[in-house]
Amino acid sequence: MKLGIALPLSLSCLLLLGGCATSRSVLDIPPPASKAVSASAGKEVLVTSVSDRRRFEANPSSPSIPSLDPGENQSADIKARAVGRKRNTFGKALGDILLKEGQTVETLTATSIRQAFAEKGYKLIDRKEQATKNTVFVEAAVDKFWSWLNISFSALTLNTEIASELSLKSAEKTTTTTVSVKASDNYQTGMEENWIEVINKALRAYVDELKTKLE
């Protein structure tokens, strides 16, 4: 639900803290809506690896820096699925926001990379045995993939930032490129569907930005 009118701070607090703000939420993020595919580029692509190199901090100076509830499990598996942290109207960090089991920051990024190449006209392949002289091999490292909220008297703003470094290797050359995007929108509450919406917007922006850098 978009924010249509200014809300008193007290009401914003009630809306934000309703439900399970202090516990972990689990999101199922769909892939970005597909756009029309460009004319065939005569090439194919294989995403060989995507690594998550985000850094988590115990007491970050900004909500845009990844962190986890110290009272909850902080295993590598949990960090791989962590995409945000809830907060109250005073900025105090609350429950974590995780992707559903089987979905990670790495898998979401890999899907978005593949979608960008597909929309650019590349053929997608899944195994090295399928590679030819026309194959582009992609390795990616995720530096940012995080969602957070900012609260003011009149708005609750959800944000998602995604940034990664990609190495593109073909028979002719090897290039390195970075993709960095941010999506933000105002809402009445911090309901899970609103987090899903802003993350999906950022993923769509990531696909579009990567497409501009492909030949």
Which residue range(s) make up the domain with 59? 9-26+42-211
Q: What is the CATH number of the domain that holds 50?
A: 3.40.50
pLDDT of the residue at 9: 42
pLDDT in the model for residue 169: 97
In a domain, 35, yes or no: no
Does the pLDDT of residue 11 top 50, yes or no?
A: no
- In our burial notation (b when 16+ CB lie closer than 10 A, e otherwise), range 110-121 reads bbbbbbbbbbbe
Q: Work out the number of other CB atoms within 10 angstroms of the CB of residue 139.
A: 15
Query: In the predicted model, is pLDDT for residue 19 greater than 90?
Result: no
Q: What is the mean pLDDT of residues 93-121?
A: 96
How far apart (Å, rounded) are the C-alpha atoms in residues 55 and 62? 13
The answer, yes or no, to whether residue 75 has pLDDT greater than 90, is: yes
Rounded distance, CA 156 to CA 195, Å? 12
- Whether 191 is in a domain gets the answer yes
Of 174, 166, 185, which is closest to residue 53 (Cα–Cα)? 166
Residue 205 is predicted with a pLDDT of 98
Domain assignment present for residue 33? The answer is no
SS percent in the chain: helix, strand, coil, step 5:
25, 35, 40
Tally the domains of the chain. 1
Q: What is the pLDDT of residue 20?
A: 59
Residue 31 maps to a domain: no
Question: Is 164 a member of any domain?
Answer: yes
Task: Give the pLDDT confidence of 150-178 residue by residue, as tens digits.
Answer: 887 777 899 999 999 999 999 999 999 99
Q: Tens digit of pLDDT for each residue in 136-150?
A: 999 999 999 999 998
The verdict on residue 4 lying in a domain is no
Say whether pLDDT at 42 is over 90: no
* 15 pLDDT higher than 80: no
Whether residue 4 is predicted with pLDDT greater than 60 in this model: the reply is no
Percentage of the chain with pLDDT > 70?
A: 90
- Identify the pLDDT of residue 178: 98
Rounded to whole angstroms, how far apart are CA atoms 196 and 75?
23
Tell me the H-state helices in the chain: 9-17, 76-81, 105-119, 192-211
Give a yes or no: residue 1 inside a domain: no
In a domain, 3, yes or no: no
* More confidently predicted of 155 and 114: 114
When pLDDT is averaged across residues 19-30 and rounded to a whole number, the result is: 83
pLDDT, tens digit, 9 for 90 and up, residues 80-95 = 999 999 988 777 888 9
